[in-house]
Amino acid sequence: MLFQKIDKPFYRKKRSLQLNGQMIILDQPIVMGILNLTPDSFYDGGRYLVEKEVLCRAEEILLQGGLVIDIGAVSSRPGAKDVSREEELSRLMPSVAAIRKHFPEAIISVDSFRSEVITRVYNETGDFIVNDISGGKLDDNMFGTVAELGLPYILMHMQGNPATMQVNPTYGNVIKEIMLDLSEKINALKLLGVNDIIIDPGFGFGKNMQHNYELLNCLDSFRLFELPLLAGVSRKAMVWKLLEITPEESLNGTTVLNTLALMGGADILRVHDVREAVETIRLVSELKK
């Protein structure tokens, strides 16, 4: 068996990231708060479309204990409309600049799969973490761009693309195939000199309900990479479809799955509800002492 659950922690996970000359320490799990600049995201689309709303959300994330503000301008929900590079930039640039101005110490993550967008935002606003849902699949220049700019990179697994990913996703062995895909891309990134890599198995991105729960149940398998691990299950269909509720009613289920992700070794929780995730981390950390 190539991959199996690990009972004893023989690995030595990377516990820090370099960003703008500063060290981000991951001795304890951290929270990444979601700030969607889109009108059509599955849960909070249309809430943060003007600067005042954006700044209020950024402040809320920080005051509630979030360490990273993850800013995205293109919805990746299944069936979402395509957004041009120009439209993505027109949404991103003013918001990132405003957050930089009002919260200069904030750590920002930019959620984009386009290398040209990453370069433009970097040139005008400075360093940030790159959060690429496609793991370089949708832009052949992404890995080289991240290496050239020296930015931390969230490498996510996605089968297919946002338009097709939930059309009968199929795996022979979901854990093995995701780990092989990530392994190849990690090697490619390291050959280019990218050392600050965060892995994200991509809950809901080209996975059905069974795949998602198998992935969560075997999350500790990803310790093999010895890299920080991000879990993004917040209010996703794996919660609300299973419980036959709505995304708006999915906070309790999200907290349960975040707890399980932390027990499985997650270092970063990407969430809509920051305060609840911070509290979850405190409780689980106390349990693990």
Radius of gyration over alpha carbons of the chain, in Å? 18
Strands 22-25 and 16-19: antiparallel
**What's the pLDDT score for residue 7?**
46
Instruction: Return the axis-axis angle of helices 274-288 and 251-263, rounded to nearest 10°.
Output: 30
Instruction: Map residue 268 onto helix, strand or coil.
Output: strand
Catalytically active residues, by annotation: 236, 270
Dihedral of CA 287/199/247/245: which sign?
negative
- What residue spans define the domains of the chain? 26-288
Phi and psi, residue 24, nearest 5°? -95, 115
Comparing 3-7, 23-27, 210-214, the range with the smallest average pLDDT is: 3-7
Comparing 84-98, 154-168, 212-226, 236-250, the range with the smallest average pLDDT is: 154-168
Average pLDDT, the chain: 90
Give residue-wise pLDDT tens across range 208-238. Answer: 999 999 999 999 999 999 999 999 999 999 9
6 pLDDT above the threshold of 60: no
77 pLDDT above the threshold of 70: no
- Alpha helical stretches, state H, 103-172: 115-125, 142-149
In the chain, what percentage of residues exceed pLDDT 70?
91
The length of the chain is 289
Q: Residues 260-267: what's their mean pLDDT?
A: 97
**What's the pLDDT score for residue 8?**
45
The number of beta carbons lying within 10 Å of the beta carbon of residue 233 is 25
**What's the pLDDT score for residue 11?**
55
For residue 286, the 8-state DSSP code is H
**What's the pLDDT score for residue 14?**
85
Class level of CATH domain 26-288: alpha beta
Q: Which residues of 253-279 are buried (b: 16+ CB within 10 A; e: fewer)?
A: bbbebbbbbbebbbbbbbbbbbbbbbe
Angle at 74 between CA 72 and CA 79, to 5 degrees: 135
Beta strands in the chain (DSSP E): 16-19, 22-25, 30-36, 68-72, 107-111, 129-132, 153-156, 197-200, 230-231, 268-271
d(CA 49, CA 210): 35
CB 254, CB 279: distance < 8 Å: no
13 pLDDT above the threshold of 50: yes
Q: Which residues of 190-210 are buried (b: 16+ CB within 10 A; e: fewer)?
A: eeeebebbbbbbbbbbbbbee
**What's the pLDDT score for residue 80?**
60
